[in-house]
Amino acid sequence: MPVIAAIVAVVAAYLIGSVSGSLLLAPMFGQEDVRASGSGNAGATNALRAGGRGYGLAVLVFDIVKGAFAAGFVPILLHAYGPWPFVCGIAAILGHIYPVFYSFRGGKGAATCIGVLAVLLPGSLLFGAAVWIAVLVASGYVGLATMLGMVGVAIASFFVPGVPTAGHLFVVVASVLIVYTHRGNITRMRAGEENRFERARLWRRR
């Protein structure tokens, strides 16, 4: 029964991750399929560009909450303990990236990953957030900040006391996924075509 419960928890986490905030909330903000504009992904950053701050913030909160719910509540509900919350976290991120409800075309997984980290590795998340802010302020590149922030989380997890082996494996796999989904950003940065969030570049203003 514990194995069956764990499998059910992982599948449930994937299905929860597959519920896309940008696509589900689009009608409330007068939007259609956000994947048809901007970067073409169903994430909060593209929602911000397509529909403004309210839409982007709503999508961000939705995707963070679903990650926290999938990794925090689902395993407890189904008594799937040990490494399974981390497996559920990866399943939720994969669901966001490859949502079964939306032809397997989703977002880049960052917001959902934040939700997972918030409930499973909050200490590491704080360090990653600091890295994210520093890189964004220095460069204006949201994608670069996200990738390096996740690498920061992975590094921090090896110094935060009490992180289990499953936690270390989770941050490594999640980091690889986040970098992979941002490969287009890497290509555009190398070509000098990546959009900058200029208002965040405080150092340049000075």
pLDDT greater than 80 at residue 115: yes
* C-alpha span between 100 and 121 (Å, rounded): 27
pLDDT for position 2: 75
- Which of 24, 206, 176, 193 shows the shortest CA–CA distance to 99? 24
pLDDT greater than 60 at residue 203: no
* C-alpha span between 65 and 188 (Å, rounded): 30
User: Quick one: how far is CA 85 from the chain centroid?
Assistant: 16
Q: How confident is the model at residue 163 (pLDDT cuts 50, 70, 90)?
A: very high
pLDDT for position 47: 87
pLDDT greater than 70 at residue 206: no
Q: How confident is the model at residue 204 (pLDDT cuts 50, 70, 90)?
A: low
Domain boundaries, the chain: 1-107, 121-206
Lowest mean pLDDT among 31-40, 44-53, 57-66, 84-93: 31-40
Q: Reduced to 3 states, what is the DSSP secondary structure of residue 85?
A: helix
CB atoms within 10 A of CB 76: 11
What's the predicted TM-score (pTM) here? Answer: 0.91
